[in-house]
Every structure is written in C-alpha cells, then in structure tokens.
Amino acid sequence: MNCRDNNFIFAFILFFFLFSCSTKSEKKTINFNIENKQKEKPKDSENLTKDTLNFKLEIYNQDSVDLNITAAKLDSNVYFIERFPNKNIKKQILDSENFTIKHLAIDYKDSSDTKNAFYNLLDCFDKNCRSIKVFDKVKFKKAFFMLVVTEKSIHIIESEKNLDAKKWINFVRFSEINSRLKTIVVQKKQQNAKWFNYNNHQLIEIL
C-alpha cells in the first residue's frame, strides 16, 4: 500500500469521525429543546389554578353574600365523604380577615346519591368515626361547624370563629339556583348543633 492510499484512508476516517460528532451534537440540541418545553407546562398549569381561584373569590364575595374572602387555596386533605360516588369535589381553604375557613363542596348525580353520602357521613363522622343520628343536638366539632344539604350537593363549612350562617346559605342558594335546600346544620363554637329546614327563605328549626 503506497502513501497515496494511506492518505485516502486517513481522510475517510477523519470525515466519518467528524460526521458522527456532528450528528450527536444535533441530537443533544433537539433533546434540550424538548426539556425546555416540558418545564414550561407547569407554569401554564399554575396560571390556570390562579385564575380558577380568583374566579372563586368573586363567587364568595358576590352581592347578597359578601363573605369577605381575601384569598383561597386548594385543600389537600382527604375526607371520608369523598369515598362515596359523586360528580365533582371542591376543597378550599379560605382566608377572611384574620381567620381561615374550610369549605368542602361535593356535587352528586341525583338526590339518591346525595342522601346516601349524607347518611354515611353521619354514620362515621370525623376521625374517631362517631355515629350521629339525624336531628341529634350534639357537638360535631369544638369550633364552628355548618352542614348544608341540597338535592344534589353537600357543603361542609368549618372555622375557628363563628360565621354568619345566613351568608353561607345565600352562597349555596346563589351558586346552585336549581337545587333546593333540604337540611341545614349550624353548630356555633363550643355549643350543640341545631338542625333546620329551609322554606320560603326562612330557617325553620327542627325541635
């Protein structure tokens, strides 16, 4: 093999090596761009969550409700009542002045599913799974507790401070125009609960 052949082989190997490096470099550039796109997605998700929560604030503070909610965030706690068939669950932790409020709202397909969830909730209430009978004037919680049952939803409201029950009833009424209020439980801090029916925009206590 002469010198000319050796030069040709050397040139071919050098060209092949440079081509391989160039191909690898291009692949790395493409992968890097994909990673950047994946990192941008959570930002869009965060903005969507913020927009949703801002919309919720408007509902809580609408005319004739005026709950003075200043901020809202998602409640990550898991509750016993979530086990039962439902259409949608909204869990919020709300800020109002210098105290917080927990609001759990569950929508159901029909009145049968609502009733089933309501009775199961009472049958095993809270972490110690106490059984509470309907219309029992017991202490559900140490702090303020409110339960609003409509034909197709259940709302649970809790706070360390006593709240205006009528404002929360109006919130449910105006948020669910086509769903009639069935049963309402209001328990003020360190007191026993009172049970109510709701007719003609009036709370009627069940004695």
Instruction: Give the side-chain half-sphere CA count within 13 A for 122.
Output: 16
Query: Is 160 in the same domain as 79?
Result: yes
At residue 43, the pLDDT reads 46
Q: Distance (Å, rounded) from C-alpha 137 to C-alpha 45? A: 44
- Is residue 89 situated within a structural domain? yes
Q: Distance (Å, rounded) from C-alpha 95 to C-alpha 134? A: 31
Q: Distance (Å, rounded) from C-alpha 204 to C-alpha 184? A: 10
Q: Which one has a higher pLDDT value, 6 or 84?
A: 84
Q: Which one has a higher pLDDT value, 28 or 188?
A: 188
Q: Which one has a higher pLDDT value, 55 or 75?
A: 75
Q: Which domain covers residue 92, as residue numbers?
A: 70-205
Mean pLDDT of the chain: 81
Indicate if the pLDDT at residue 193 is higher than 50.
yes
Report whether 153 contacts 188 (CB < 8 A): no
Q: Distance (Å, rounded) from C-alpha 158 to C-alpha 93? A: 10
- Is residue 65 situated within a structural domain? no
Query: Is 101 in the same domain as 146?
Result: yes
Q: Distance (Å, rounded) from C-alpha 207 to C-alpha 203? A: 12
* 42 C-beta neighbours (distance < 10 Å), count: 9
At residue 98, the pLDDT reads 81
- Is residue 91 situated within a structural domain? yes
Query: Is 103 in the same domain as 38?
Result: no
Q: Cα-flanking dihedrals φ and ψ of residue 107, to 5°?
A: -100, 140
Q: Distance (Å, rounded) from C-alpha 103 to C-alpha 86? A: 17
Query: Is 40 in the same domain as 79?
Result: no
Q: What is the pTM of this model?
A: 0.72
Q: Where are the beta strands (DSSP E) in 57-123?
A: 71-74, 88-96, 99-107
Single residue among 37, 60, 83 that ends a domain in this structure: 60
Count of domains observed in the chain:
2
Q: Dump pLDDT digits (tens) for 142-164.
A: 999 999 999 999 999 999 999 99
Query: Is 117 in the same domain as 191?
Result: yes
Report whether 28 contacts 35 (CB < 8 A): no
Among the listed residues 47, 93, 91, 89, the one whose alpha carbon sits nearest the alpha carbon of residue 70: 93
Query: Is 155 in the same domain as 179?
Result: yes
Average pLDDT over residues 106-124: 97
Q: Dump pLDDT digits (tens) for 116-150.
A: 999 999 999 998 999 999 999 999 999 999 999 99
Question: Across-strand partners of 149?
Answer: 154, 183
Residue type, 198: Y
Indicate if the pLDDT at residue 48 is higher than 90.
no
Of all residues in the chain, the percent with pLDDT exceeding 90 is: 57
At residue 188, the pLDDT reads 97
Q: Dump pLDDT digits (tens) for 163-179.
A: 999 999 999 998 888 78
pLDDT band at 5; cut points 50, 70, 90:
low
Report whether 131 contacts 123 (CB < 8 A): yes
Query: Is 80 in the same domain as 113?
Result: yes
The two tokens of residue 133 are 């009978």
At residue 29, the pLDDT reads 43
Q: Dump pLDDT digits (tens) for 6-25.
A: 555 555 555 555 555 554 44
| DSSP assignments along 25-52, one per residue | HHHHHHHHHHHHHHHHHHHHHHHHHHHH
